Amino acid sequence: MNAPAMLAELLPQTVDFVLDGRAVQAFEGETILKAAQRHGVDIPHLCHKDGLRPDGNCRACVVELKGERTLAPSCCRSVTVGMEVQAASERARKSQQMVVEMLLSDMPEAGYKWNDQDGYGGAPVGQHGELSQWAERLGIQVRPQLKALRREQPAPDLSHPAMAVNLDACIQCNRCVRACREEQVNDVIGYAMRGEHSKIVFDLDDPMGDSSCVACGECVQACPTGALMPKSHIGSQQVDRKVDSVCPFCGVGCLITYNVKDEKIVSVDGRDGPANHSRLCVKGRFGFDYAHHAQRLTQPLIRRPGMPKDIGDAPRPGDWRSTFREASWEEALAFTSGTLKGLRDTHGPKTLAGFGSAKGSNEEAYLFQKLVRTGFGSNNVDHCTRLCHASSVAALLEGVGSGAVSNQVNDVEHAGLILIIGSNPTANHPVAATWMKNAAQRGAKIVLADPRITDIGRHAWRTLQFKADTDVAMLNALIHAVIDEGLVDEEFVRKRASNYAALCENVKGYSPEAMAPICGVPAATLREVARAFATAKGAMVLWGMGISQHVHGTDNARCLIALATVTGQIGKPGSGLHPLRGQNNVQGASDAGLIPMMFPNYQRVDDAGAHAWFENFWGMPLDAAPGYTVVEIMHKALAPDDDPHKIRGMYIMGENPAMSDPDLNHARHALASLEHLVVQDIFMTETAWLADVVLPASAWPEKTGTVSNTDRMVQLGKRALDPPGDARPDLWIIQQIAQRMGLAWDYPGEEEGVAAVYEEMRQAMHTAIGGITWERLQRESSVTYPCLSADDPGQPTVFIDDFPTPDGRVTLVPADIIPADERPDADYPFVLITGRQLEHWHTGSMTRRATVLDALEPMATASMNQRDLEALGLQAGEVVTIRSRRGEVAIHVRRDDGMPDGAVFVPFAYYEAAANLMTNAALDPFGKIPEFKYCAVRVLRGGTPMAMAGYGTGATGHAAAM
């Protein structure tokens, strides 16, 4: 087939029809409503909303079709050839007006969704949302006799911390039901009863606050009348401005719009971005008010003379004056840079280190690593990727030549099988999880492989609940089964893989029958899953930190690469490898070079060619040796004074290692031992409490910049607010320190400066983002890389023809079983698993200061199954003490029957029960990532939980019920 014919086949086919007497065209399969809208004809509609399945229940959109006896709902009727449609005939218009009037007559006198304007350029109208808009446009006045028939109004339900339920304004359009059950697939909202008793219900007609609602807010975004609405919008919805940005939480990278009133964000709407298509989760929709918290840092602070750095002293973020004093920017910057420069000049460049942030912008990450390399003089720069996906990236760079994902999350739409391993997407990447659940609804098979059976397990075809620490055994068994049963894609392996013979030899001893007793999954199930994976039209692997945070994390990822390769499940739609990124810019920060062994775009610092290029590009001599990683820096901070590489000074921007590092007592001791610690942040974090200088920075809504999500999309966020008090943009602070350390940087201010830094970064990363100019981002908001030219749309799927390795082939690396560094024994019989939870994120410094999020989960809890609780004589809600060889916490216990026997799960967002006091700092030898996901603990009845650390909103909520 020639190119024009192929193009013609791809283009949508058109259908000729007549609309209100005009000859027009529709796309094949297009509804009358959508075709009419494209041709400038607006048909009233209430139950219809873009993104939701057409339902046709409200009948406000009926039109007259020539030759048909009854009126037809235009939202769910497709155009056919020669169809003659009258959208505004007398008969159609009367019916439309009658429906709208009947619905409006049943509305309460005082509405909930006041419109600023009718959405069509007119004056402000109505108090019943879209219903008022259509009433205004159709010229409807409700007749008194209809008002007399108004139903008995149900009472409001205000039980939920975030949302108000006003069913007296409900028109039973079912938008909320479709949003909840079909888009988000949370299955909370239903339609119950019959006739005049019919109504919207939550679960078994529970109050919303007592239901299983996960507060994604999809229902309030869908509701046309305010029957469901954010509590922050009760009353007028008028705002001063709307500002487009990107969600500041997980790596999915949802596009959002901030609604700003009186210089505060009052609500957030989901935008139709390529990663989320208007969907959000509870954090993205309701976790915004941390930016306005009373504990925001607003003035530079310097530690008072003689004030000790006591790691046992709980931070008091709202009461720091006895420990710190306020200072001017000039004094704080002079003290910061002068001391760091003095340490560098006295003890050598290896004695300084920097931790950057995956919560800031690409431009900040790029400039921060440039400062460390050119100003500090070493490659001792790292960030949280070391604590999440460093081992995944190590294996991917080694195997396929790229540390980024091969396919985007929503490509699961094209998958026949989706393997989710070591990830809890409904809690950690909720919007990404919706695409997986949607795929399952369409018939894709989800396989959940995890020691814990998490919520996504409800949608799984098969669940592989393997024993913790046996990832390699189970994955090698799958590979063995593929080879043993003749399911290898021989052509793919022959043309596009190397070292296959060594892989075959290695997995000979890993039959499913031999591995079943080790991993705890029946051999027949392993073989069944292997067959399904190999024979699926597309099989996609998505993994999280359950794969990466082990001493064998790199080997885990090597096995996943091998499984995808031997089955040919890579380089095509609905297939491939996707390590789900945890923070909003962990992908971009890594791309920008915020790691100790790589310059921007993953060019090794010890590669002579890359080293020479960057020396020339930056005009400075550079260290040719890889720097220390996060955990190694902590060890070096405690090195003896005669060690020439002892870390003496650190600059930490937007990271909180006093909460996020393993073996926290050791990490906090290291931070407290530094001769000079500078922390740049928006709150007095646990790390800032140990600092000598604290620099008040800008929150994400207060800056313009780009971030790169888990899907390789570079996305632009715009400043919605000014920083409070004398807080300053992070980019400005980095530049000020650089200039005072002798670097001749002269980037302009405000957005112009951000654009200038981005342009420099683009030159350094031209083989990835060369075609993504600042102007293009301003225009398009989101562009996928690799993107090499201005007319390149970006490549959502990569490795189609070859791999970016020296020979263009996958390098298969065999892996053998390596046990965890510390295993359970008689003294410490339980396994500790750590992770995130839906409502809280990372170390909690932002989410625990968000009113709604703190109300939903105000208290730290440890999860165990009922069998283990009974064996220990415990009831859900009791206090236990969890103890490892490094530390202990007292915490309330919660029942979760998805937990395996002999394991306990603790989220790491709570200072008063800091999970990382107990975790093991043993490192993966390749990725240098700590073994967060596995250490031995004992669980003892009783204990005294630590009091709140002085932050949070102080609200109580669902967690109390356990």
The full DSSP string for 10-22 is HSPPEEEEEETTE
Pairing of strands 879-883, 935-941: antiparallel
The confidence band for 512, taking pLDDT boundaries of 50, 70 and 90, is: very high
The pLDDT value given to residue 147: 74
For 29, phi and psi rounded to 5 degrees? 85, -5
Q: How far is CA 330 from the centre of its chain?
A: 37
Measured CA to CA, the distance from residue 272 to residue 251 in angstroms comes to: 17
**DSSP result, 411-469:** GGGG-SEEEEES--HHHHSHHHHHHHHHHHHTTPEEEEESSS--GGGGG-SEEE-PPTT
Looking at the chain, the whole-number percentage of residues with pLDDT higher than 70 is 96
Query: Please, which pLDDT band fits residue 959 given cuts at 50, 70 and 90?
Result: very low
Q: Which of 819, 803, 823 is nearest to 811 (CA)?
A: 803
Q: Is the pLDDT at 739 greater than 60, yes or no?
A: yes
Strands 603-604 and 935-941: unpaired
What does the pLDDT read at residue 237? Answer: 81
The model's confidence at residue 114, banded by pLDDT at 50, 70 and 90, is: confident
Q: Per residue in 260-278, pLDDT tens?
A: 999 999 999 999 999 999 9
- Is 291 exposed, middle or buried (CB count within 10 Å of its CB: 0-12, 13-18, 19+)? buried
Q: Is the pLDDT of residue 735 over 80?
A: yes
- Burial tier of 725 (Cβ tally within 10 Å: 0-12, 13-18, 19+): exposed
Q: How far apart, in whole angstroms, are the C-alpha atoms of residue 669 and residue 690?
A: 10
CB 836 within 8 A of CB 907: yes
pLDDT band at 749 (very low <50, low <70, confident <90, very high): confident
Higher pLDDT, 194 or 87: 87
pLDDT of 542 higher than 50? yes
Supply the DSSP string of 245-257, one letter for each residue.
EE-SSSTT--EEE
Quickly count: other Cβ atoms within 10 Å of residue 244's Cβ.
16
Positive or negative, the Cα torsion across 742, 748, 749, 754? negative
**Alpha carbon 417 to its chain's center:** 22
Residue 639 phi, psi dihedral angles, 5° rounding = -70, 155
Q: Is the pLDDT of residue 148 over 90?
A: no
The whole-angstrom separation of Cα 710 and Cα 200 is 36
* pLDDT band for position 615 (cuts 50, 70, 90): very high
Per residue in 799-838, pLDDT (tens digit) is 999 999 999 999 999 999 999 999 999 999 999 999 999 9
Q: What CA–CA distance (Å, rounded) separates 361 from 708?
A: 9
Which candidate, 804, 789, 768, places its Cα nearest to that of 593? 768
| pLDDT classification of 786: cutoffs 50, 70, 90 | very high
Q: Phi, psi (5° rounding) for residue 370?
A: -65, -40
Whether 589 has a pLDDT exceeding 50, the answer reads yes
| 117 pLDDT above the threshold of 60 | no
User: 22-27 and 14-19: which strand pairing?
Assistant: antiparallel
Give the 3-state DSSP-derived string for 563-628, with helices as H, strands as E and coil as C: HHHHCCCCCCCCCEEEECCCCCCHHHHHHCCCECCEECCCEECCCHHHHHHHHHHHCCCCCCCCCC
- Residue 952 — pLDDT band, cuts 50, 70, 90? low
Cα–Cα distance, 459 to 181 (Å, whole number): 13
pLDDT exceeds 80 at position 948: no
Measured over all CA atoms, what is the biggest interatomic distance in the chain, rounded to whole angstroms?
Answer: 95
Mean pLDDT of the chain: 94
Q: Which pLDDT score, from 0 to 100, does residue 3 have?
A: 45
The partner residues of 879 in beta bridges, in order of sequence, read 892
- How does residue 629 score in pLDDT terms, banded at 50, 70 and 90? very high
Which pLDDT score, from 0 to 100, does residue 74 have?
Answer: 98
pLDDT band at residue 11, thresholds of 50, 70 and 90?
low
- Residue 895, pLDDT > 60, answer yes
Residues 652 and 679 sit within 8 Å (Cβ to Cβ): yes
Query: Quick one: pLDDT at residue 961?
Result: 40
472: left (phi > 0), else alpha (psi -120 to 50), else beta? Answer: alpha
Contact yes or no for 659/689 (Cβ under 8 A): no
Using one digit for the tens of pLDDT, what is the confidence trace for 121-137?
444 458 899 999 999 99
Residues in the chain: 962
899 burial (CB, 10 Å; 0-12 / 13-18 / 19+) is buried
Please tell me whether the overall predicted TM-score, pTM, comes out greater than 0.75 for this model: yes
Of 533, 334, 336, 544, nearest to 432 by C-alpha is 544
Q: What is the band of 10 on the pLDDT scale with cuts at 50, 70, 90? A: low
Q: What is the pLDDT of residues 158-179, one digit of tens each?
A: 999 999 999 999 999 999 999 9
Which helix (H) or strand (E) segment holds residue 829: the answer is none
Which residues share a beta bridge with 940? Answer: 881
- The structure tokens listed for 743 are 């670097």
424-478: pLDDT as tens digits:
999 999 999 999 999 999 999 999 999 999 999 999 999 999 999 999 999 999 9
Question: Which tokens belong to 640?
Answer: 């003896």
The mean pLDDT value for 508-515 works out to: 98
Place of tokens 């603790």: 906
In the prediction, which pLDDT does 109 show?
Answer: 86
Residue 315: the pLDDT is 85
- On the question of pLDDT at 7 being above 50, the answer is no
**pLDDT above 50: residue 6:** no
**C-alpha–C-alpha distance, residues 396 and 171, integer Å:** 52
SS3 (DSSP) at 342: helix
* Mean pLDDT of the 194-204 span: 92
